[in-house]
């Protein structure tokens, strides 16, 4: 089933708002086996929206729209769709009643559809909004399903979960066509090119499935794509390919699908009855934030400190002032003292210390921008590693968090 997405709104088009709705929708429909063929962003302009709908209808079975369903003058979606399907009446604030009247005049049904209710072919329906006042609109006409949803992310997600995803799933099952599903293995501590060499030529074992390498700042994701008529066939093929990948690169695979490196680390800590604390300098709290993003992290994450200045390192963690003068804050000695200091401060099994030069300034020939020292203090031994990242401040901070999580994972797995 081919799906296209249209996001409506000048604020998205000109970059004032990042289009996270489209990313969420694309991921959600892909997970149930749909194929996303195109994303579009259009202005709050009726003719542009109409032209885009006309163009995309030729390439998709389902067209999902977000935005433009509010009460202001630039919210055009409901009026454009009403006119698109042949009505000129829906122009007032009482648009729902006009929409009902319009459909009744043409001998078609319009209902307020509740979650889980089956769709009647050739009807227009209002989709209840579980957390807002603006309902979604659904048209199932001329071999295409068109759904319009609010642009407010939580409202859109509610309508997708309650109505759209169940509908698409049922239609695919009824259609009996081959469906593509994806499964992702997550790796850390290995570069994309090295991982590719380790796995070898994918064509020798994929047998029609697909494999994509998707790098990010915490590792490389291995996305397996499997196409088959039945769920049993898809599961069997997915497990076969995943087994080969684990056999060849298993020591770098920390999880799968929606798991995060922080959540997997937390899972291992809970199993072992252990805890962690963090001392951060260049990352400014990003590592602690990664831990607290995990529900239930209070069971294993005790807390942390941001010791950005030398004075804070001395006062909060007991870092040696002579070492700060002799080797500097960005050094093996200071990273280790930060880790052991926070470990003692919070009485945790592990302490993590991060100190580095994030940039864009502050580098020297001996310590260029991107130099980061990370130390993990443990109950048996301490591990300290020097990393050399790039010149981009944001990327250096994110890569530092990924490297610290990867070091901790190798210890606690």
Q: How far apart are CA 271 and CA 248, in angstroms?
A: 26
Nearest alpha carbon to residue 260 among 300, 301, 290, 298:
290
Q: Are the C-beta atoms of residues 179 and 170 closer than 8 Å to each other?
A: no
Q: What are the DSSP E strand ranges found in 200-326?
A: 210-216, 219-228, 253-256, 276-280, 301-306
Residue 109 has pLDDT above 90, yes or no: no
Q: What's the mean pLDDT in 178-201?
A: 95
Kind plus residue range of the DSSP H or E element containing 126: strand 124-127
DSSP codes of every residue in 146-171: EEEE-SSHHHHHHHIIIIIHHHHHHH
Of 177, 183, 175, give the one whose Cα is nearest residue 229.
Answer: 177
Q: What is the pLDDT of residue 360?
A: 95
- Residue 41 contacts residue 19 (beta carbons within 8 Å): yes
pLDDT digits (tens, 9 = 90+) for 272-315: 999 999 999 999 999 999 999 999 999 999 999 999 999 999 99
pLDDT in tens, 141-184: 778 899 999 999 999 999 999 999 999 998 887 777 788 899 99
- Please report, for residues 43, 53, 60, 171, 205, the alpha-carbon distance to residue 143 in angstroms, rounded to integers and kept in the order given: 26, 14, 10, 12, 38
Q: Is pLDDT at 41 greater than 70 in this prediction?
A: yes
Q: Are 411 and 343 in contact (CB under 8 A)?
A: no
What's the confidence (pLDDT) of residue 120? 41
Question: Tokens in use for 70?
Answer: 């509010």
pLDDT over 50 at 347, yes or no: yes
Q: What is the mean pLDDT of the chain?
A: 90
What six digits make up the tokens of 110? 């319009």
CA angle, corner 392, sides to 355 and 14, nearest 5?
Answer: 135
Tell whether the model's pLDDT for residue 355 goes beyond 80: yes
| Structural domains of the chain, ranges and CATH numbers in brackets | 2-175 (3.40.980.10), 179-256 (3.30.70.2860), 261-412 (3.90.950.20)
pLDDT in tens, 207-228: 999 999 999 998 999 999 999 9
Tens-place pLDDT, residues 90-108 = 443 444 554 554 444 444 4
CB-based burial label for 65 (10 Å; 0-12, 13-18, 19+): buried
Cα(376)–Cα(411) distance, rounded to whole angstroms?
A: 9
- For the ranges 75-84, 229-238, 309-318, the maximum mean pLDDT occurs at 309-318
Q: Is 375 exposed, middle or buried (0-12, 13-18, 19+ CB in 10 A)?
A: buried
Q: Note whether 260 and 293 are within 8 A (CB).
A: yes
Name the nearest CA neighbour of 339 among 273, 407, 413: 407
Evaluate if residue 73 carries a pLDDT over 80.
no
Choice between 354 and 126, residue whose per-residue pLDDT is larger: 354
pLDDT at 72: 66
pLDDT of residue 142: 77
Predicted confidence (pLDDT) at residue 57 exceeds the cutoff of 80: yes
C-alpha to C-alpha distance for 372 and 363, rounded to whole angstroms? 11
Q: What single DSSP character describes residue 93?
A: S
- Best CA proximity match to 98, nearest among 83, 120, 113: 83
For residue 112, pLDDT beyond 50:
no
Q: What is the pLDDT of residue 84?
A: 83
Q: How confident is the model at residue 373 (pLDDT cuts 50, 70, 90)?
A: very high
The pLDDT of residue 81: 86
Specify the pLDDT at position 123.
57
Average of pLDDT values for 122-127? 72
Rounded-to-integer distance, Cα 86 and Cα 84, Å: 5
φ and ψ at 202, to 5 degrees? -60, -30
Q: State pTM to two decimals.
A: 0.82
- Give the Cα separation of 59 and 53 in Å (integer): 10
275 phi/psi in degrees, rounded to 5: -135, 165
| DSSP track, 326-380 | HT-SSSHHHHHHHHHHHHHHHT-SEEEEEEE--SSS---SSS-TTEEEEEEE-SS
The pLDDT value recorded for residue 89 is 35
What pLDDT does residue 71 have?
Answer: 61
């Amino acid at each position: 089933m081919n799906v296209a997405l249209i996001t409506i709104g000048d604020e998205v088009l000109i970059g004032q708002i990042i289009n996270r709705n489209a990313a969420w929708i694309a991921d959600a429909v892909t997970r149930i086996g749909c194929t996303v063929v195109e994303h579009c962003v259009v202005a709050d302009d009726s003719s542009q929206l109409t032209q885009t709908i006309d163009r995309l209808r030729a390439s998709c079975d389902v067209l999902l729209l977000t935005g433009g369903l509010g009460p202001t003058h630039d919210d055009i979606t409901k009026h454009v769709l009403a006119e698109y399907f042949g009505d000129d009446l829906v122009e007032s604030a009482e648009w729902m009643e006009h929409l009902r009247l319009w459909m009744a005049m043409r001998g078609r049904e319009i209902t307020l559809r509740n979650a889980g209710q089956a769709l009647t072919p050739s009807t227009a329906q209002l989709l209840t909004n579980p957390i807002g006042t603006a309902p979604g609109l659904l048209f199932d006409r001329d071999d295409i399903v068109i759904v319009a949803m609010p642009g407010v992310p939580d409202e859109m997600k509610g309508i997708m979960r309650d109505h759209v995803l169940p509908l698409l799933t049922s239609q695919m099952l009824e259609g009996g066509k081959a469906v593509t599903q994806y499964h992702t293995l997550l790796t850390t501590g290995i570069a994309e090119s090295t991982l590719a060499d380790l796995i070898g030529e994918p064509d020798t074992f994929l047998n029609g499935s697909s494999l994509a390498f998707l790098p990010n700042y915490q590792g490389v994701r291995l996305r397996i794509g499997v196409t088959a008529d039945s769920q049993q066939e898809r599961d069997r093929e997915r497990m076969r390919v995943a087994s080969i990948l684990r056999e060849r690169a298993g020591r770098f695979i920390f999880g799968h699908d929606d798991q995060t490196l922080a959540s997997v680390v937390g899972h291992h800590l809970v199993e072992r009855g252990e805890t962690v604390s963090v001392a951060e300098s260049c990352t400014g709290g990003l590592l602690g934030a990664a831990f607290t993003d995990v529900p239930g992290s209070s069971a294993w994450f005790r807390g942390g400190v941001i010791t950005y200045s030398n004075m804070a390192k001395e006062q909060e963690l007991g870092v040696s002032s002579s070492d700060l003068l002799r080797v500097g804050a960005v050094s093996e000695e200071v990273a280790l003292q930060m880790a052991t200091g926070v470990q003692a401060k919070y009485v945790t099994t592990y302490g993590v210390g991060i100190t580095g030069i994030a940039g864009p300034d502050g580098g020297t020939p001996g310590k260029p921008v991107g130099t980061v020292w990370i130390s993990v203090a443990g109950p048996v031994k301490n591990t300290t590693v020097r990393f050399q990242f790039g010149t981009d401040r944001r990327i250096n901070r994110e890569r530092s968090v990924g490297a610290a999580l990867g070091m901790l994972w190798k210890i606690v797995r």
